[in-house]
Amino acid sequence: MLTAFTELASSGALQSQVVIVGSGPAALAVAYALEERGVPSVLLESGEASKTEQWNVLTGGFKGADYGVADSYTQLHIRRQLGGGSNVWGGWCTTMREMSMSRTDIADYPQWPLKRADLTPFYGRAGTWLKIPDYEASLVDAIPVSGFDQLNVKPFRFSPPVRYGKDFSEHIEKSPKITLVQGVTVLSIKGRHGHAEALELSVGGEARTLKCGKAIVLAAGAVGNARLLARSAAELGVSDATSANVGRYFFEHPHCYSLARILFAPELAQELTKKQYQSSSFISLMPTADFLVKNKLTDFNFQLSTVPADKLDSREAAIAKNYKAIYGVEPAVYNATLGMEQTVHSKDFSVLDDGTLKRKNDGHLTLDLTAQKKIVDAAKTWLMANGAHAWVSPTTESPIVAVGHLHGTTRMAQTPDKGVVDADCRVFGIDNVFMAGSSVFPSGGFANPTYTIVALAIRLGDHLASQQKQI
């Protein structure tokens, strides 16, 4: 149901229900999983149903230049609005590769305290909830390209995309188990001795405090989650070792868009036309796990889409003509975008400096993407050694940019000194505060995050439902 803040405050509902901060895919997936088990929850969302002048975060303090993107990065990538980032996402979905969750060949590679197999059943439910047709195809870790032992394909599938603010509102309105209050910004969590007891809120500019009795789930995005916990950690009793990890290890999915135009040798070009390698309009071509381990490289994929003959520039057309003269067949020319796992995670407190804390959810984000250059070079060498006939670089170099996949600021770990939450997404040392969203990812491979965010959130919802008596 939709409720006004005054009604919520007088009902005392926060004391008896699971409280979820946010209303993006992570928040709604937790609420949905709880609802399936008959457990009620209250969602507190800072934004409103439609975009207003205040729809996005404030951008003062954000330095685009640090980040390799324009100053509009936070405006583009953080939505303070009912449904969060689902208002703008593209719906690209695939699962994390097994190796992206654990590498022992790379020093300091952050390890997940979960295995891919632990997520598989939740990917199934998330696929249905995200309305991904044929989602089972994207559960496949890698499809070997027949006849080319160094080449693998990672299938992607697509949500329509679901826009949760719009598409889920009717469900929430009718649901007796989900209560949504909009226009409520959570400022901090109050509590002591490792137990949260109340939330400090801003409602229409007025400060309010509401008592909470049960579990609190922070699902406020990777910047919001870290900032809320940072503001609350000392009073809650989060240990110094864990606090030191809040807001650190921020990482993205660096991309080079239109890095090159590629022509493959005829046998490979022919093989790649087969349906099993296609992800809608593109092919996601990647190296084998063995190749990455042998060369101690973080992961990457080429997203290859065919370019119509009338869109080729004069250099590309000349190479295509030459190709036909050599092989006697018309070539397929592919536009290649390179998606990458981030090699170095920022150890700076990227999202927590004092100036931005005062502005609540604003984010000062810093990323060092310079180490990615090595991956761009390695990816080119790998492709040229494994079936590419020609690589045509664009006339202006494609920059390495971030794409709006924010991760890692409250990462999951085996022990409190290495991260912020445990394998159940519970903040170390606090019995009733949990995190949902890609802030908990220790690493992210190159897979777009939302499918994994939703799988983890459904898993968290199940966990909270099963813990009802204890929390």
Ligand X SMILES: Cc1cc2nc3c(=O)[nH]c(=O)nc-3n(C[C@H](O)[C@H](O)[C@H](O)COP(=O)(O)OP(=O)(O)OC[C@H]3O[C@@H](n4cnc5c(N)ncnc54)[C@H](O)[C@@H]3O)c2cc1C
Footprint of ligand X (CB under 6 A): 21-27, 44-47, 76-77, 80-81, 84-86, 88-93, 185-186, 219-221, 224, 228, 361, 404-405, 437-438, 448-451, 453
What is the closest distance, in whole angstroms, from the C-beta atom of residue 38 to ligand X in the complex? 23
Cβ contact 33:94 at 8 Å = no
Q: Which is nearer to ligand X, 282 or 323 (CB)?
A: 282
Among 190, 173, 183, 171, which Cα is nearest to 6's? Answer: 183
Taking the complex as a whole, how short is the minimal distance between the CB of residue 94 and ligand X, in angstroms? Answer: 8
Kindly tell me which of 151 and 340 has the beta carbon lying closer to ligand X. 340
Which CB sits closer to ligand X, 93 or 455?
93
Least spacing, CB of residue 135 vs ligand X, in Å: 13
The CB-of-64 to ligand X minimum distance in angstroms stands at: 15
Closer to ligand X at the Cβ: 201 or 320? Answer: 201
Task: Give the shortest CB-218-to-ligand X separation in angstroms.
Answer: 8
Minimum distance between the CB of residue 31 and ligand X, rounded to whole angstroms?
11
Closest CA to 443 of 267, 235, 248, 249: 249
CB 164 within 8 A of CB 86: yes
By DSSP bridging, strand 41-45 and strand 18-21 are: parallel
- Cβ contacts of 327 within 8 Å, gap of 6 or more: 266
Of 75 and 239, CB closest to ligand X: 75
Q: Hey, what amino acid is at 235?
A: E
The CB-of-118 to ligand X minimum distance in angstroms stands at 19
Radius of gyration of the chain (CA): 23
**Rounded to the nearest 10 degrees, how much is the dihedral formed by the CA atoms of 414, 420, 424, 426?**
140
Rank residues 231 and 389 by Cβ distance to ligand X and give the closer one: 231
Dihedrals phi, psi of 346, to nearest 5 degrees: -65, 130
Q: 375 Cβ partners below 8 Å, 6+ apart?
A: 297, 298, 300, 340, 341, 343
| Short-list 96, 168, 101, CA closest to 130 | 168
Distance of CA 260 to the CA centre of its chain: 26
How near is the Cβ of 452 to ligand X at its closest, in Å? Answer: 8
Rounded to a whole number of angstroms, the minimum distance from the CB of residue 14 to ligand X is 13
Pick 6 or 381: Cβ nearer ligand X? 6
Gap between the Cα atoms of 368 and 23, Å rounded: 30
Torsion angle (degrees, nearest 10) of CA 358, 453, 94, 339: 20
State the nearest-atom distance from the C-beta of 185 to ligand X, in Å. Answer: 4
In order of 263, 321, 325, 392, the CA distances from 329 in angstroms are 12, 10, 8, 19
User: 106 or 137, CB closer to ligand X?
Assistant: 137
In the bound state with ligand X, the residue whose beta carbon lies nearer, of 28 and 263, is 28
| DSSP conformational letter for 401 | B
The tokens for 378 are 């390695």
CB of 156 to ligand X, least distance (A): 9
45 vs 422, beta carbon nearer ligand X: 45
Nearest partner of 129 among 99, 153, 162, judged by Cα: 162
In sequence order, what are the residues at sequence separation of 6 or more whose Cβ sits closer than 8 angstroms to the Cβ of residue 43?
20, 22, 23, 27, 28, 31, 172, 178, 179, 180, 181
Counting every residue written for the chain, the total comes to 471
Q: Which is nearer to ligand X, 165 or 387 (CB)?
A: 165
Residue given tokens 């220790």 in the structure block: 442
Which residues are CB-neighbours of 449 under 8 A, at least 6 positions away?
253, 405, 407, 438, 441
